[in-house]
Structure 1
Amino acid sequence: MALNKKIAYFLQKIHAPDARIDDKMLGKDLTFFTNEYGEPVTLFIGTRRPDGAITGDRYVRTIVRKPGSQQILKSHWDLKGKVNKA
Structure 2
Amino acid sequence: MTIGDEMMKVLNKTYAPMSFIETTFKRYDIAFKTDDAGRPILLFIGKANETGRIKGERFARRLVLDDSGNIVKDHWDNKGKQTDTYAF
Tell me whether the two structures share a fold, i.e. TM-score over 0.5.
yes
Q: Which runs of 5+ in 2 are unaligned?
A: none
- Quote how far apart the aligned CAs of 1:52 are: 1.3
Q: Which runs of 5+ in 1 are unaligned?
A: none
Pairing of 1:2-81 with structure 2 (within 5 A): 2-66=2-66, 68-81=67-80
Instruction: Find the aligned partners of 1:39 and 1:30 in 2 and give their Cα distance.
Output: 15
TM-score when normalising by structure 2: 0.89
Instruction: Find the aligned partners of 2:49 and 2:25 in 1 and give their Cα distance.
Output: 16
Say what the alpha-carbon RMSD is for the aligned residues.
1.1
TM-score when normalising by structure 1: 0.91
- Quote how far apart the aligned CAs of 1:29 are: 0.4
